[in-house]
Amino acid sequence: MQKRVAERAYYVLNNLRSKITEEEFQTIASMDIGAIIKEFNRGNVEVLDRQDINIFMNSKITVGDLINYIRDCQELLMYKKDILGLIERQKSEFRYDPNARFFNESQYGYNYGALSYQQVLESITTAEKMLNNKEFYLLLKAMLKFETVRVELRERKEVLTALKEKDERRDLLLETIDRGDTSMGIIQIQETQKGDRFEAGTKKDMAISEIIGLPYPKDVDEEGYEYGPHGDYYMPAHKVEKTFHQPETKTHYEMIRTEVQKRRNASYDATDEPGYIYSNGVALQITAKELAECGVDPKSVGWKPVRVTPKRQSVLGLRDYRGRLPLKEKIAIKAKTL
């Protein structure tokens, strides 16, 4: 029992605090992320410069971390009665020392034995406070709704920063999209690490790929080399070469017909919504419709809208690191986030 308690106490004392600071905790739990996202989607990109949204964007805390922390606290409290009983017995025998090690063994690289009786009692207090802390569940509620959008906002800020810088590659990309050769054929992609493959595409697609690495990898020719203190590791050669072929077989013509239809469908679906391409460090603001009108499939070059759309996660679908959460517990957690 003592070994298990020491392990849980260690995590309760260190797990969350190692991932999220007090400033992050208070900021994310109290901020109205939804209102900030609406403001950004209306075109006020300056909101991404706010200190609170930057704390949110750069935080490493996840829904999984919070759920695991709840489970650690709950498990630790299962042992509370036994721990207090153990301490009472030691006190009755005049041998209780709050600074003595609770469990004297190191495992998995962590010295759980470094925890004293007093620290285990502090862990129990911490667990009780967190499980009854409304702000903790406000934080969980925010992360359930907005965790997926955090990375998207971070990327939008990177794009906006990149667009402010002069970049000759962006000018070349725009010119290639606008004036590149739309001749459709079969593109052979020879790659040492992945083998050969064939795609229906245009010469314009090939030229775009040389700038942003999409929709195909850039051509490269890198020699293999040895590394390590004694040359005991080897990095194999990496070569990618693209070749444009005119169609010759029935299969080739069918591939081209399918690709042409796919791009035609993409042009029907494309909108004038503000969006961007961002790959290989190159950012270009452009709409999906503009790409489609130039014969480029927006999806193939990673086009995204500037706006972001939160995708709420459900507590009922969550797991922790031990496996699926019991339904009763999911309902209890969900009730506290309403």
The phi and psi torsions of 182 (rounded to 5 degrees) equal -95, 15
Instruction: Identify the residue whose tokens are 């810088």.
Output: 165
Structure tokens at 84: 């207090």
**Sign of the CA dihedral running 7, 12, 16, 19:** negative
Question: What pLDDT, on a 0 to 100 scale, did the predictor assign at position 8?
Answer: 76
- Min mean pLDDT across 18-22, 112-116, 275-279 is at 112-116
Residues 78 and 200 in one domain: no
Q: Which stretches of 42-167 are DSSP H helices? A: 51-58, 63-78, 80-92, 117-131, 134-164
3-state secondary structure of 319: strand
Q: Which residues pair with 107 in a beta bridge?
A: 110
Number of domains composing the chain? 2
Question: What pLDDT, on a 0 to 100 scale, did the predictor assign at position 333?
Answer: 66
Residues 173 and 301 in one domain: yes
Q: What angle do CA 332, 334, 335 make, to 5 degrees?
A: 65
- Min mean pLDDT across 68-72, 118-122, 142-146, 217-221 is at 68-72
- 262 within domain boundaries: yes
Residues 233 and 195 in one domain: yes
Q: One-letter amino acid identity for 128?
A: E
pLDDT category at 69 given cuts 50, 70, 90 is confident
- 143 within domain boundaries: yes
- 51 within domain boundaries: yes
- As a whole number, mean pLDDT of residues 152-157 equals 95
- 153 within domain boundaries: no
pLDDT category at 102 given cuts 50, 70, 90 is confident
Instruction: Identify the residue whose tokens are 């709950």.
Output: 74
- 154 within domain boundaries: no
- Reported pTM: 0.78
Q: Which residue segment(s) compose the domain that 257 sits in?
A: 166-305
- 156 within domain boundaries: no
Residues 144 and 6 in one domain: yes
**170 vs 193, higher pLDDT:** 170
- 159 within domain boundaries: no
Measure the CA–CA gap between 133 and 138, rounded to whole angstroms. 9
- As a whole number, mean pLDDT of residues 50-56 equals 94
Task: Please write the tens of the pLDDT for every residue from 242-289.
Answer: 999 999 999 999 999 999 999 999 889 899 999 999 999 999 999 999
Residues 184 and 253 in one domain: yes
β-strands 275-279, 238-245: how paired? Answer: unpaired
**Does the pLDDT of residue 223 top 90, yes or no?**
no
